[in-house]
Amino acid sequence: MSNNRTVTRADLADAVYQEVGLSRKNSAQLVKQVIDTILDTLETGETVKLSSFGNFAVRHKRARMGRNPKTGQEVPIEPRRVLVFRASHILKDRINGVK
């Protein structure tokens, strides 16, 4: 896959089709099922760990006071959940060309 474009869900399904030999329809369903499982797991607040890739986790941010950069006026920021990704050392090394 090229470095100058975004990999889409369809690209992932096509890769499964090419590598595993499932039908295109079954490959697309498999990719959808994997993504849905990851989303459902994160939605419940659990961590998703993909060996040799990284961890996805949901963190809770507490309420705090922020500031509007244009006006300088203080604004309350509501508590929220944020998604964080921490890449594995294997992924970091691979991206940096370390063997």
Q: Cα separation of 67 and 74, whole Å?
A: 4
Digit-coded pLDDT (tens) for 55-91: 999 999 999 999 999 999 999 999 999 999 999 999 9
State the pLDDT confidence band at 44, using cuts at 50, 70 and 90: very high
In the chain, the amino acid numbered 8 is: T
- Structural element, H or E, at residue 83: strand 80-87
pLDDT at 21: 87
Contact of 76 with 63, CB cutoff 8 Å: yes
Q: What is the mean pLDDT of residues 8-35?
A: 95
Domain definitions of the chain by residue range: 1-44, 46-99
Architecture of domain 46-99: Irregular (4.10)
